[in-house]
Structure 1
Amino acid sequence: MSANLFRADLRHIDTWLFDLDNTLYPAESGFMAAIVDRMTDFVEKVTGLPREEAFKLQKSYLSEHGLTLKGMMLNHGVDPRDFHAIFHDMSLEALAHDPDLLAALERLPGRRLIFTNADDIHAERVLERLGLGHLFDDVFHIGSAGYEPKPSAEAFARIGAAHAIDPAATAFFEDSERNLAPAADLGMTTVLVGAYAAQSTAPFIHHRTDKLAPFLMDAKLREAA
């Protein structure tokens, strides 16, 4: 059952901004956990640290920069292409088509955009596996942002400029609470997605739902032009 207990009024929205990982598929799939494991492998190899310390460093970079890669680039001279390549052969077996999500996304009026800290190849692979790629007008990935990751204000400025985004008419869907804070500051409508969304008390979160598809299907939308 969705944690959303009322029909969200999204009739003012004509730009739909979605995070990718753990947002367009459930965290329970375990796919993101596999990504994190590969990331730890990479940090361990580059730094020579024992695995436990490599994992701590990985998480500290994530906390400080919004992206492990950013810390690896700044402090270890890592080429982002080498970093992203470690994910390109990952099995996608954990990801499945969700016909309810497909139908929910199809009913959204206006344009749909992906806003992800992953790279273009990863995003394309995941969207193809989910059967959702044709529904999105563009994928604004970490390369598009010049390797400036969410939640930095600069990342939001760059996607805003690239797509002439009007924050007042934009909804942003994310599994990461802190990535929604700058969106709210800009005037976007924020939706926290995932199993722990209902527990959030952050004042900048406008809507919370454990499952994306029912939330979108229930939402009040403007009439298509």
Structure 2
Amino acid sequence: MNQTTLLPAPLSEIEHWVFDLDNTLYPASCDLFSQIDWRMTAFIAESLSLPPDEARPLQKALFRRHGTTLRGLMVEHGLEPSAFLDFVHDIDYAPVLACDRLKAAMAALPGEKLIFTNGTVRHAERVLERLGLDGFSGIFDIVAADYMPKPDPAPYASFVKRHAIDPRRAVMVEDIARNLVPAAALGMTTVWVTGSPEWAKAGSEGDHIHHATDDLAGWLETRMAKAPDTPGSS
């Protein structure tokens, strides 16, 4: 799957571009999540005094019940989140490589750019550094969301309020299909970046996904090329 149709609103009217981080700004083939995934298992095993073969299924069950493993540990086991977040994001970021096309396409976007992630600010900063991307107006992370993960609607409302976003003039880009449901409900234009693991495709049916692509840089390039009303163009 590649580029789809034009945005329903002219790009000159888009004021905010909202990007998820992991498996969105870098390809899922970097496989950072597998590192994080196994560190979550190790943390659970150590914290709850469980053997790994019991910690692993518990981790997955917590994820299914609560949207993130962290949320499940907080709700069901009273976990203090900072130690967990520090531990699971202590990973090797070397697989994330800069993409000149993405850098150029992002730099050309009109309006403000923001990160909205279930990760942490520090994790986002490390990824952005590896990608060579800058110019973001803010990073709204799991701490800012009061540890309530996407796709719960509450952090979307908080995010929009904090950054004074008019959802009707915002685009949200995300690799997990169900995380676009609340964005579309608020009135945002949504872009689903495909190519993530099968579980990320759940909830991809429905009209909450307006555009889909397996090449974010190419999609952004095409949007800008087809936007003659963008400020500064003829």
Counterpart amino acid of residue 157 in structure 2: A
Verify: 1:223 aligned to 2:198, yes or no.
no
Counterpart amino acid of residue 205 in structure 1: I
Write the distance in 2 (CA, Å) between the matches of 1:164 and 1:202.
28
Verify: 1:4 aligned to 2:3, yes or no.
yes
Verify: 1:101 aligned to 2:102, yes or no.
yes
Which residue is 1:135 aligned to? Answer: 135
Verify: 1:213 aligned to 2:212, yes or no.
no
Contact 2:168 2:189 in 1 (8 A): yes
More displaced stretch, 180-189 vs 40-49: 40-49
Taking the TM superposition and a 5 Å limit, the aligned residue runs for 1:17-166 are 17-132=18-133, 134-166=134-166
Cα deviation digits, residues 43-93 of structure 1 (max 9, x gap): 222233343442222222222222111111111121111011114431111
Residues 64 and 88 (structure 1), Cα distance of their counterparts in 2 relative to 1, 3 Å cut? closer
Write the distance in 1 (CA, Å) between the matches of 2:56 and 2:231.
47
SS across alignment from 1:171:
strand
Counterpart amino acid of residue 80 in structure 2: D
Counterpart amino acid of residue 165 in structure 1: I
Instruction: Compute the TM-score of the two structures, normalised by the length of structure 2.
Output: 0.88
Cα deviation digits, residues 90-118 of structure 1 (max 9, x gap): 11111100111101111110000000011
Work out the number of aligned pairs and report it.
223
Residues 203 and 187 (structure 1), Cα distance of their counterparts in 2 relative to 1, 3 Å cut? same
SS across alignment from 2:190:
strand
Write the distance in 1 (CA, Å) between the matches of 2:230 and 2:194.
28
Contact 1:112 1:137 in 2 (8 A): yes
Cα deviation digits, residues 147-175 of structure 1 (max 9, x gap): 12111111111101101111101111001
Contact 1:198 1:208 in 2 (8 A): no
Write the distance in 1 (CA, Å) between the matches of 2:59 and 2:88.
16
Write the distance in 1 (CA, Å) between the matches of 2:2 and 2:118.
26
Verify: 1:203 aligned to 2:207, yes or no.
yes
Contact 2:4 2:211 in 1 (8 A): no
Structure 2 residues without counterparts, runs of 5 or longer: none
Counterpart amino acid of residue 47 in structure 2: V
Contact 2:7 2:189 in 1 (8 A): no
Instruction: Compute the TM-score of the two structures, normalised by the length of structure 1.
Output: 0.91
Residues 38 and 104 (structure 1), Cα distance of their counterparts in 2 relative to 1, 3 Å cut? same
